[in-house]
Structures are given as C-alpha cells and as structure tokens.
A and B are shown apart, each in its own frame.
Chain A
Amino acid sequence: MSAFLDIAIDDKRHGERAVLRGLRLGVARGEIVSLVGASGCGKSTLLSIVAGLDTGHRGALRLDGRPLVGPSADVGLVFQAPRLFPWLTVAQNIMFGASAGKADLARAAALLEEVGLTGYGDALPKQLSGGQAQWVAIARGLYLEPRVLLLDEPFSAVDAFTRMRLQDLLAAAARQRGLTVLLVTHDIDEALYLSDRVILMDSMPGPVRAEFAVDAPWPRERAALALSPLKPAILDSLHAAHAF
C-alpha cells in the first residue's frame, strides 16, 4: 500500500548539476518527518518540489493516492524567512491564500490567539519580533487547512528560547490537527523533539541514507531526548554521509 504522501524523484538537476537522484520517501497520514543532512544536499529543493514551486524534475508525487502536480491547497509551505508582505496587516498576511470574499477574520484571529498574539491582527509586520513574524508565517501556512505542512528550517533565525516555544506551538498545532509534516532542519535536537521519524539525506545528489524512528510519547521531554542514543547515532551517520 502506498503512503499518504508518496515522493519518488528519479532525477532533479540545477543546470548540469544533479541535486536529487533516486529519492523514495513515503510519509504516513499525521506523521511528522524531519529531513536532516548537510547544506546543499537537496532538502530545500525537495520541499520546493513537493510544494509545487519547482517543477523541472523527473518523478512522481502522490497525495492520498492522487497525483500531486504544482501548488495545491492541500500542501502548505513555511519558508526559512517569514516572507510576510510588509504592506499587509498581520491578519491580511494570514488570510493571503484565501480567495476574494472567503477571508475569515475570526479564523485569523483564532490562529493568533492560539499562539498568544491576540490583538496583533491589525499590526504591520515591521512591528513584530522575528519569532512573532515566523509564527504569523506558520499561521498563514495553517490558514487554508492544508493536509500536509512543509517547513524549511522555520526556526533557524530565532533565539534558542523563542525556538523552543515555537517548536512547542508547532507540535501542538500539528498534533491537534492531525497534520502530516515534513520539516527540514539542521538542528538534531529539534528533529528528535518534533518528529516521529528522522530522515538523513545523503550528500548530493541526495537519496535517503538512513532513517531513525523516534519512539517517544507526547508530551516529550527535551532532556531525555537529548540524552537518547538516537542523537549520537544520527550525528555519526551525518558525519559518515558528508565526510570528504
């Protein structure tokens, strides 16, 4: 039986350079999967392909048995930087993907309330901190109620304390909604804390090198995960995969 999100990329090139080759990845419904690997191994390219922004590849994507071609309302993407539209208010940014006449201010306000940003709907992006802006970007990703949420190093630019808080908010939001999540990260602790499975991608042209199941119940203990034998195992594989 095929997975809920079924990714098969035979070949993806940037010019002459192969970025991804022979990649097979299945993600179950409601599963949170982290992708780790050295910079340039094709993780972000993979997310762009699944989001439908990058189309020049050979291969096939299926979501719930149906072909996934181009951008889809079923798939949300949160970029590394918030990428908020500076001329729109926070609420307008969250509702950006809604077609004309279908924007629901109450739902945007509810998403803001979920993360303690109540009353920020009319604020402009320039009035937000980095962490707040990134949550607004995640809220924009959640607003259309996608079935799959892709996140490309979403917390890499925020301080450690804010990062932990955003990780908790994301975990709660995803588990509550039964979202299927594909998260690209460089932070092994983050991958262990958030995911059901950690996928290690090989150096270019990046197929899957190893998989690690994180079998820990929710709510999770950061300290316990940091001390689990999984962390050194992932780090060892990472070093082996990207040794020059």
Chain B
Amino acid sequence: MEQPTIALDVPAPAAPARRRLTAGFPLGLLLPVLALLGVELGVRAGLAPANLMSPPSSVLEALSWLFDNGLGAHVGASALRVASGFAIGALLALGLGALVALNRTAERLFDPSFQALRAIPSLAWVPLLLLWFGIDETPKVILIAIGAFFPVYMGVVAGIRGVDRSLIEVGLLYRLSPLALARRVLLPAAMPSVLTGLRNDLSLAWMFMVAAELIAASRGLGYLLTDGRETGRADIMLAAIVLLALLGKLSDSAMGAVERRTLAWRDSLSERDKR
C-alpha cells in the first residue's frame, strides 16, 4: 500500500553555515590584538607619549633584551617562590581543612582562629614578616603561603561538609571505619571543591608573589616592575606584566588539566559539553 507523504516547506537551517565562518577562529584573541594594534598605531602617531606607554614593538624588544640579560633568573626566582609558597600553604590547608571538617573537637579548636585570621588582609602581615625575617626569601614564601592557605582550607571544609548524606549512609551501611569513610567517601566526594580551591590558590599565589617582590627583592618579576618604575622604563614594566600574564595562564591551564583529569567522573554541564 502506498504511504501518504507529507512535504513540509522548511527552509534549510542557516545556523551551521554561520558557525562554519567562525569555527577555528579564536574569537578571544580579537580584542587583545585590536588593543595592541591600537596602542602601536596610537604611540607612533604621537597620540600617547612613548616613555609612558610603550608600544608592543618596544615591549618585544625589551623582552628580547631581558632574555639575553638574566630573564631566566628573574622568572626562576619568582616561580620558585610561588611554587614553594603555594605548596606549603596548600598542603597545610589540605591537612588542617580535612581535620577541621572531620573532627568536631578540631573544628572547635581551630576554626574560630582560622576564621579570624582569614579576615586579616594578607598584605597586612608584610611589615611584621619583614621585621621578623628580614628581606630574605623566608618572608616572601610565608606571605605567599598565608595567601594560599585560606582558599584551599575553605574549599576542603565546605567540600567535606557538603558531601551528599546519602553517599555517607552507603559507607555506614558497609561498616566503614571513620578513617575509611573519610578516605573512600568524604575526600573523593569533596575533590571538586578542593580542586577549585587549589586553582584559586594558584592565581592568588602569583598575586602575593608580586606583592612580596614589590616590597623587597633583588630578583624576580616584581623586582623588574620596581626597577622599571625607578628607571622610568615603561617597556620593562609592560614586559614583566606580559610575562606574569603568560606564567599565570600557564600554571592555571596546568591546574585546569589536572582538575579535568581528576574529575573526569563528573556528570556536570561542563563535562557534558565536552562530550
């Protein structure tokens, strides 16, 4: 028997064609490229003084000059400070955060003090740290560690406390000891929150590193900023800023990759988008 057919006069979808035009073009680069081009042309046309606003070409020259004159030592010193401060702050926060979240007595003992300390702007510690430890590496690393401590601490505590009670019940049903419950249920379930804390931590660590180096340093990207200001070299300052942006983005991307790999089990909207 012949089947009746219904023909619908539907226009061809236009969206895919439009998408094809922009696909592959990193749209996020558009604004920075336009801005750099604008600055370059603006300075060359004499709209802005070159000693205050170096054009991108001068910044590139400064970067190249720095590269031949000890840039590696500056980047290395800054990165080492960030890495050690971040590691100390994050490790302490992971341990103490887990303890406070899992143990009522520890919570009553530590949490009020940590909450009070959290309210102090981290930079307020700088004069005291300089008085106690001089202008050596120690105060810089401690300042970065203080700044890095709280986001992870808060992430661990909130993550563990926010674990779905229904999953905890499954653990109790299978007679897990408190330690096994923490290891097999609470900590894995808290991982998304912990990793968010760690990622925020890392960007804060770069921020505190600059603050520490601006105050007292003879090496590092923060020192380059101070040096550039004192010698009136806007190109050096901008080169240091570019480097800070690159290093910050690099470390954040690395942490993002760790996060994606560790949390591949998540069934969230962002994970679904990647499928």
A79 touches B191 (CB 8 A): no
Interface residues of A in 51-87 (CB under 8 A from B): 51-53, 70-71, 73, 77, 79, 81, 83, 85-87
Q: Please determine whether A86 and B267 come into contact, CB atoms closer than 8 angstroms.
A: yes
Contacts of B264 in A (CB 8 A): 124
Min distance, Cβ A140 to any Cβ of chain B, angstroms: 8
A126 interfacial contact with B, CB 8 Å: yes
**What is the minimal beta-carbon distance from B18 to any residue of chain A, in angstroms?**
32
Q: Which residues of B in the span 145-189 have a Cβ within 8 Å of any Cβ on A?
A: 166-167, 169-170, 172-175, 184-185, 188-189
State in angstroms the CA–CA spacing of A113 and B253 once bound together: 41
A residues 120-134 with Cβ under 8 Å of B? 124-126
Q: B188 contacts which chain A residues (CB < 8 A)?
A: 85, 87
A77 to B197, CA, bound (A): 35
From B167, B175, B188, residue with most partner A Cβ within 10 Å? B175
Minimal beta-carbon separation of A86 from chain B (angstroms): 5
Number of chain B residues close to chain A: CB under 8 A: 18
Assess whether B191 is in contact with A87, with CB atoms less than 8 Å apart. Answer: yes
Chain A interface size band reads: 10 to 19
User: How far apart are B70's CB and chain A's nearest CB, in angstroms?
Assistant: 46
Distance in angstroms between the alpha carbons of A51 and B175 in the assembled complex: 11
Q: How far is the CB of A74 from chain B (nearest CB, A)?
A: 12
The verdict on A71 contacting B170 (CB below 8 Å), with A86-B265, A86-B266, A124-B265 known, is no
Residue of A nearest to B266 (CB): A86
Bound Cα distance from A87 to B167, whole angstroms: 12
User: For A71, A73, A87, A126, which residue has the most chain B Cβ atoms within 10 angstroms?
Assistant: A87
Q: How far is the CA of A224 from the CA of B88 in the complex (A)?
A: 70
What are the interface flags for B215-242 relative to A under an 8 Å C-beta threshold, 1 for contact and 0 otherwise? 0000000000000000000000000000
- CB-CB nearest in chain A for B188: A87
Residues of B close to A52: CB separation below 8 A: 173
| Residues A87 and B265 in contact, CB atoms below 8 Å apart | yes
Contacts of B166 in A (CB 8 A): 79, 81, 83
B65 to chain A, nearest CB (A): 50
Question: Which B residues are CB-close (under 8 A) to A70?
Answer: 175
Given A79-B166, A126-B265, A126-B266: A85 in contact with B185 (beta carbons within 8 A): yes
Instruction: Tell me which residues across on chain B come within 8 A of A83, comparing CB atoms.
Output: 166-167, 169-170
CB-contacts of B224-275 with A (<8 A): 264-267, 271
> With A85-B185, A87-B265, A124-B265 in contact, do A71 and B191 touch (Cβ < 8 Å)?
no
Give A85 to B173 CA distance when docked, in angstroms.
Answer: 14
- CB <8 Å contact, A53 and B265: no
Task: Give the Cβ gap from A25 to chain B, nearest Cβ, in Å.
Answer: 21
Which parts of A10-59 form the interface with B (CB within 8 Å)?
51-53
A212 at the interface (CB under 8 A from B): no
A106-146 vs B: 1/0 string, CB under 8 Å? Answer: 00000000000000000011100000000000000000000
What CA separation (Å) do A125 and B264 show in the bound complex? 11
CA distance in complex: A97, B174 (Å): 5
Q: Could you tell me the distance between the alpha carbons of A73 and B173 in the complex, rounded to whole angstroms?
A: 9
A96/B265 in contact, CB under 8 A: no
Nearest Cβ distance between residue B193 and chain A, in whole angstroms?
A: 13
- CB neighbours (8 Å) of A85 from chain B are 167, 170, 185, 188-189
Min Cβ gap B164→A in Å is: 8
8 pairs, A vs B, C-beta closer than 8 Å = A71-B173, A71-B174, A73-B175, A79-B170, A83-B169, A85-B170, A87-B188, A88-B265
Q: A52-B173, A126-B266 are in contact. List 13 more A-B contacts (CB 8 A).
A: A51-B173, A77-B173, A79-B169, A81-B166, A83-B166, A85-B189, A86-B265, A86-B267, A87-B189, A96-B170, A124-B264, A126-B265, A126-B271
